[in-house]
Amino acid sequence: MFELTCPGKACVRNDVLSGLTVALALVPEAVAFAFVAGVGPLVGLYAAFMIGLIAAVVGGRPGMISGATGAMAVVMVALVSEHGIEYLFAAVLLAGLFQILAGVLRLGKFIRMVPYPVMLGFVNGLAIVIFLAQLQHFQVPDGHGGKQWLAAEPLAIMAGLVLLTMAIIHFLPRFTRAIPSSLAAIVVVTLLVLGLDLDTRTVQGVLADMTGDPDASIAGGLPTFHLPDIPWNLETLKIILPYSLILAGVGLIESLLTLQLIDELTETRGRGNRECIGQGVGNAVNGLFGGMGGCAMIGQSLININSGGRGRLSGIAAALFLLGFILFASPLIEQIPIAALVGVMFIVVIGTFEWASFRLIGRIPPEDTFVGILVAVVTVFADLAVAVIVGVIVSALVFAWKHARHIGVEQFMDGNGAKVYRLHGPLFFGSAHGFGDLFTPREDPDEVIVDFADARLADHSGLEAIDKLAERYQRAGKHLRLRHLSPECRELLDKAGDLVEVNREEDPHYHVADDRLA
């Protein structure tokens, strides 16, 4: 069901005002990420407008904000520098189609496989990344292609305005919640700077530094339909396919993790598969209308949630306000002090970082602590998607290692003189190697029974371990019987197939992961 906002005028007001706050903060970020990707400012602003609007309408998480992001920009820069912007538009279009396909195939559910330590590391790492990204605003070009810190007086003014912004955001809700505190802080600090004629950097100053043009502006028209001007052939596909797959993967990982975080904060449930489709449609439209593409933005989403935005209207309002800035209000937006926006982002950093994670050290398994720190470090120094993938892989290996030690055996003689091995624990690739060490074919009697009633056979490695065990008993001239294996296991066993004792009343029914079943 499509619900624009919650019932009541208060919800509409909160969504619209929080959308305005988000739009103000989106401007410098969209421009900055456009330059990271090696494209013009309007390409980033158009991308933020289009994917922000479409994801808010079509996506599966009301209240979440999408736009141009750094995680995707760093993937784009190589394609733009080597082949040009038209190939970028084609790659974004194809990435959007991949994301739609992921939603149709219901692949969004796999985000549930991300363990909590990975999520914790992702959140903390992203908070650090947002913080470090703001430090560039305390620097200016040094005239030699590098940057240097602001001089003492401008630095003091900048720091003072940042602290004032943070103080307003923190204390205003204690007196009134009629307007979002972040929006109030931006307005107050802007009026203060204009009234006192303070010498501090504005959005227009940042644009000038980035472009090298003192008259740079965010002004522009409506995005227009533009089919990428490229050869539509197999050679082009070979060029854009790797970039499209990476862009689609990075965008979905960041979007679905942000969705999970917003779910926790709002105690509601988003729809991951629908969000995949929403992101895909947004990126496909970006590729056809001259945008650089994007995904969900955790920083802007938190600004929206903290400002009271909960419904789809907040994301729609943010996108429409951003378009309004481009079309009509660029002179006003360009006068906003960058210090006010930095203060808003610092509040986001404080709210994003899981400070309670420090108290968990020593109270949770050390391997979970290691995974959380590892993901945070990789997020800061590499990339969000890489960090999450690394975290999931390390967590899976730790899980496999721990459970590989859980397989054990209970030995006893039954009334017929046969030796019974009753297994306990999972038999899979991690425990398959040690499985064979549990048995002594040469010392065992002629009749041996292996009972799998308390064990679970999980994969092909476990099947191979059973086949090798059967072969060992055959060479020793012993009679081996296997009890309580599932029908699928019996079908897949090669060496021991005719040695399996069938008990249809007691044998379990479960599926084992093996390519031969496919």
In a domain, 355, yes or no: no
Give the pLDDT confidence of 39-54 residue by residue, as tens digits. 888 999 999 999 999 9
Q: Same domain for 412 and 496?
A: yes
Q: Same domain for 255 and 117?
A: yes
Work out the mean pLDDT of the chain and round it to a whole number.
Answer: 87
Tell whether the model's pLDDT for residue 264 goes beyond 90. Answer: no
Residues 6 or more apart from 112 whose CB is under 8 A from it? none
- Tokens representing 405 are 């030690």
Rounded to two decimals, the pTM is 0.74
Give the pLDDT confidence of 341-367 residue by residue, as tens digits. 889 888 888 888 888 888 888 888 899
What's the average model confidence in pLDDT over 197-212? 85
Q: Same domain for 111 and 236?
A: yes
- Ordered DSSP codes for 234-297: HHHHHHHHHHHHHHHHHHHHHHHHHHHHHHHHHT----HHHHHHHHHHHHHHHHHTT----EE-
Tell whether the model's pLDDT for residue 506 goes beyond 70. Answer: no
**Position with higher pLDDT, 182 vs 458:** 182
pLDDT score, position 502: 45
**Domain final position from 304, 335, 366:** 335
For residue 478, what is the domain's CATH number? 3.30.750.24
Question: Containing domain of residue 13, as a range?
Answer: 9-137+212-335
pLDDT score, position 142: 77
Task: State the pLDDT confidence band at 505, using cuts at 50, 70 and 90.
Answer: very low
Q: Same domain for 229 and 312?
A: yes
Give the pLDDT confidence of 424-437 residue by residue, as tens digits. 988 888 888 888 88
In a domain, 289, yes or no: yes
What's the average model confidence in pLDDT over 244-253? 91
* Nearest-angstrom CA–CA distance, 376 and 389: 12
Tell whether the model's pLDDT for residue 2 goes beyond 80. Answer: no
Q: Same domain for 330 and 411?
A: no
Q: Same domain for 242 and 123?
A: yes
In a domain, 116, yes or no: yes
Number of residues that make up the chain: 518
Q: Same domain for 323 and 465?
A: no
Task: Report how many domains make up the chain.
Answer: 2
Tell whether the model's pLDDT for residue 36 goes beyond 80. Answer: no
Q: How many CB atoms lie under 10 A from the CB of residue 369? A: 18
pLDDT score, position 252: 92
In a domain, 197, yes or no: no
In a domain, 250, yes or no: yes
